[in-house]
Amino acid sequence: MSYYKGIQCIKCGYVGREDEAFDACPVCGTQGNNVNFTTTYDFGQDLEKVRQEFLNAKGKGLWKHREFLPIAPETEPVSLGEGETPLLHCGRLGKSMGLHNLYIKNESVNPTWSYKDRLCSVAVTRAVQEERPVVTVSSTGNHGAATAAYSAAAGKPCVIFTLPQVPATMKTLMQSFGAYVMVTPKPIDRWTIMKKCVKEKSWYPLSGYIAPPIGSNCFGIDGYKTIAFELYEQLGDLPEFIAVPSAYSDGLYGVWKGVKDLQTIGLSGKKTKMIASEVFGSLKETLKEQAEGPVTVPSEWSISFSIAGPQGTYQGYAALKESEGYAETSSDEETIAMQLRLAKEEGIFAEAASVTSLVAIEKLAKEGKIAPDDKVVAVITSTGLKDPATTAEHLPPVPTIEPNYEELAKALKESYGYELK
Ligand SMILES: [Zn+2]
């Protein structure tokens, strides 16, 4: 079964029809605000029954709690074994930040090595359920790779629109799954053509195609709820803070929805706060100004290209306002330093955008907004292997040596600063 009920606007509560799901709310639109729809669920009166079902669920991975996903009970999930990722206590890194309970939710071990697999598993399953002819997405990488893989698993053609400057590794990954990958010279053009295909050819969109952006497919976003469910199961309750790298905030809002589900059915009373880590700080500025909607800030190309947008979304703002959370920025310099620190101190090589969550946590801890004993989870969204060339620029060239101790000791010292004892 599924508790899924319908969709409504995140801001004004307008109850939409499913065929309106990928366009911004028409009511907020008349006031000049672009706002995404979100799914709603009806858990009924007997919440004890819902709690028991949750606690006694037997499945594995993302589909373990499928009654909390917007998929009809008779629909077979399109799954590659996503979810159920490790939660790791970061003793060394946490200590250096003055935090005793710093954890990493390592989403880089998902089937296409990013947390986008959660969104795509649910959204491609919806595409199958609705018998759509083609799956499409606009993406700078991870979202495209995941869409391509799940479309392949579903046997659906997949057309991806991307940008010229996206790393070659990402484009190869997308094409390798059989997706038809296109570049449009102007960024805005990718949304124009995608929208046309959705409206006129009934293609199924896994990302948004609206400017200013609203976020992705609202059904797929519910896939991220399962991160909150897993954290609850892995920690025995929700943590005090969950930090998620954010551009259009699909992940941030999806995880927050999972937190709200657990609060609504009475499994957790924890006041979990969401943290958005950004590159240029649209949501940080929006919170500061208490603006009506997400403000635009100056932006440029960043090594955290998957989250390097000039403007956040209303759904991201909503997650921060509702949870009384924070947004914090990470410059490329801070990001690369954290990427190498995480790899060296904890053994996890994460994508640049992923570690912005740790930079944000460290800054908030320094400001006293996170207390030393608070449980804090950084969602590591993807692997560093998606863009190794950027990291390599910050590492020494590998020295070639003759096989003797003198040369070894010299090279260790000169290249790595390591003294042989
Ligand atoms: Zn609205």
**pLDDT tens per residue across span 236-289:** 999 999 999 999 999 999 999 999 999 999 999 999 999 999 999 999 999 999
- State in Å: Cα 371 to ligand 1 middle: 36
Cβ atoms 163, 136 nearer than 8 A:
no
Rounded to 5 degrees, φ, ψ at 236 are 85, -10
Which of 93, 68, 191, 82 has the alpha carbon at shortest distance from 139? 191
- State in Å: Cα 207 to ligand 1 middle: 19
Cβ atoms 177, 160 nearer than 8 A:
no
Cβ atoms 254, 222 nearer than 8 A:
yes
- Number of other CB atoms surrounding residue 64 within 10 Å: 18
Mean pLDDT on 117-140: 97
- State in Å: Cα 28 to ligand 1 middle: 4
3-class state of residue 211 by DSSP: coil
- State in Å: Cα 44 to ligand 1 middle: 25
- Give yes or no for a cis peptide into 372 (omega within 30° of 0): no
- State in Å: Cα 17 to ligand 1 middle: 13
Q: Count of H helices and E strands in the chain? A: 16, 13
Cβ atoms 90, 346 nearer than 8 A:
yes
> Does pLDDT of 165 surpass 90?
no
Average pLDDT, the chain: 96
> Does pLDDT of 185 surpass 90?
no
- Number of other CB atoms surrounding residue 90 within 10 Å: 21
- By DSSP bridging, strand 180-183 and strand 326-329 are unpaired
Q: Rounded distance, CA 218 to CA 230, Å?
A: 20
- Number of other CB atoms surrounding residue 93 within 10 Å: 22
Report the pLDDT value the prediction gives residue 187, as an integer from 0 to 100. Answer: 86
Strand order of the sheet with strand 158-162?
180-183, 158-162, 135-138, 204-205
**Residue in the structure block whose two tokens are 């897993």:** 230
Q: Rounded distance, CA 168 to CA 80, Å?
A: 24
Report the pLDDT value the prediction gives residue 234, as an integer from 0 to 100. Answer: 98
Give how far the C-alpha of residue 298 lies from the chain's centroid of Cα atoms, to the nearest Å.
22
- State in Å: Cα 8 to ligand 1 middle: 8
> Does pLDDT of 213 surpass 90?
yes
Radius of gyration of the chain (CA): 21
> Does pLDDT of 334 surpass 90?
yes
Provide the pLDDT confidence category of residue 140 given band limits of 50, 70 and 90.
Answer: confident
- State in Å: Cα 254 to ligand 1 middle: 18
Provide the pLDDT confidence category of residue 169 given band limits of 50, 70 and 90.
Answer: confident
- State in Å: Cα 166 to ligand 1 middle: 33
- State in Å: Cα 33 to ligand 1 middle: 8
- By DSSP bridging, strand 15-16 and strand 4-9 are antiparallel
Q: Which of 94-108, 125-139, 154-168 has the lowest mean pLDDT?
A: 154-168
**Following DSSP, what letter does each residue of 251-309 receive, concatenated?**
HHHHHHHHHHHHHHTTS----PEEEEEESS-HHHHHHHHT-SSPPB------SSGGG--
Report the pLDDT value the prediction gives residue 141, as an integer from 0 to 100. Answer: 86
Which of 37, 116, 13 has the alpha carbon at shortest distance from 313? 37
For Cα atoms 373, 282, 349, give the angle at the middle one, nearest 5 degrees: 55
Identity of the residue numbered 328: E
Note every long-range contact of 7-12, with CB atoms under 8 Å and residues 24 or more positions apart, other chains counting. 7/37, 7/38, 7/39, 7/40, 7/218, 8/37, 8/38, 8/40, 9/35, 9/36, 9/37, 9/38, 10/35, 10/36, 10/37, 10/38, 10/253, 10/314, 10/315, 10/318, 11/35, 11/314, 11/318
Mean pLDDT on 315-338: 98
Report the pLDDT value the prediction gives residue 119, as an integer from 0 to 100. Answer: 98
- State in Å: Cα 317 to ligand 1 middle: 14
Report the pLDDT value the prediction gives residue 167, as an integer from 0 to 100. Answer: 84
Element (DSSP H or E) covering residue 235: helix 225-235
**Following DSSP, what letter does each residue of 98-136 receive, concatenated?**
T-SEEEEEEGGGSTTSBTHHHHHHHHHHHHHHTT-S-EE
Provide the pLDDT confidence category of residue 358 given band limits of 50, 70 and 90.
Answer: very high
Report the pLDDT value the prediction gives residue 28, as an integer from 0 to 100. Answer: 97
Element (DSSP H or E) covering residue 24: none
- State in Å: Cα 367 to ligand 1 middle: 35
